[in-house]
Amino acid sequence: MAQARPPGHLRVSPHDAEQLGLSEGAPARITTNRGTAQALVEIDDRLQPGHAALLNGFGLDLPTEDGGTERTGVALNTLTDRAWRDPIAGTPWHKHVPARIEPLPT
């Protein structure tokens, strides 16, 4: 049985991981013209080179048992620009955001 991963990993192709110096499970920084986030890398051979994926629906601060909060994954709206959106619906183009990805020291 596969071990469950924490939510919100940054998925990249094996080619891009090699080119960018990214390692499975290691932290990476994602930078767009709007913001910066950090996520752990998941190397996924289903992705095409030049594409990366962060799942939508994360970046929430959830309560912990000790009364604190814990953030799960990356809130995509922190990386998307309101000007980069569908002209009719006005929704951000989450699937078409140019980004720079770089490894972080572990």
pLDDT on residue 73: 81
Region 93-98: mean pLDDT is 82
Identify the residue with better confidence: 64 or 76. Answer: 64
Domain that residue 52 falls in = 10-103
In a domain, 3, yes or no: no
The CATH number assigned to the domain holding 45 equals 2.40.40.20
In a domain, 25, yes or no: yes
Burial of 8 (0-12, 13-18, 19+ CB in 10 A): buried
Region 29-56: mean pLDDT is 93
| Residue 19 in this model has a pLDDT that exceeds 90 | yes
pLDDT on residue 6: 57
| Residue 1 in this model has a pLDDT that exceeds 50 | no
Cβ proximity of 86 and 98 under 8 Å: no
